[in-house]
Amino acid sequence: MRIVLWAFLVSLALIPSAQAASFDCTKASSFVEKAICTDKQLSSLDDQLAGLYKAARAANANAATVEADQKAWLSWRNQCADPACLKKAYADRIAALSGSSPAPASGSFTGTYKMKNGEALVQETNGRIKFSINAACGLGEVAGGAALTGDTAKYVDQDADCVLSFKFAAGKLDLTQDGTCGMGLNVSGSGTYKRVSTAPPKFED
């Protein structure tokens, strides 16, 4: 009887707590979910983010924008393949939701957008955007500014053989690149980027 009881207690200790995260850990299936449920720091970050997200939705008149941003961030988070990536993703999102950086005005396209092998930083000010596009894991980069027309913008630099067309939508950026843009052979920033943060980005000098 004691052996059976001991085995039962050991099995309980090995099962991640169902309350360890913002979701049911007993149903965790992906690498990301299992990592969150078995890593105390990640579990704590997940709980903290869940509380901030709930508060942000309640305080923001445009809850749909908050939800779109969160879905975009989740999509990016789920591409992580190690705990270090996950911890950075949570730290960035918590900073954005906690108000440690000034929140952009409602409807602004300011933020950090990411896709598998690229990142786009965007700052909207007075009907213009300042941007930095980093493609192919840092192999190509182009930066500049362009005027906004509704939810679109076009950047043209004939000397650099570069035309960038920006199309913003809820939680994403569709970018089309024509020309080399100084990025190098077969390197392009074209693609659909998902917004992972609404905090004003920091541009390199």
What are 79-116's pLDDT values in tens digits? 888 888 888 888 888 887 776 544 444 448 999 999 88
Q: How far apart (Å, rounded) are the C-alpha atoms in residues 119 and 73?
A: 13
For the chain, domain boundaries: 20-98, 111-197
CA–CA–CA angle 102, 105, 108 (5° rounding): 110
Whether the CB-CB separation of 78 and 93 falls below 8 Å is answered with: no
Q: How far apart (Å, rounded) are the C-alpha atoms in residues 81 and 166?
A: 29
User: Is 0.75 surpassed by the pTM of this model?
Assistant: no
What are 46-83's pLDDT values in tens digits? 888 888 888 888 887 677 777 888 888 888 788 888 88
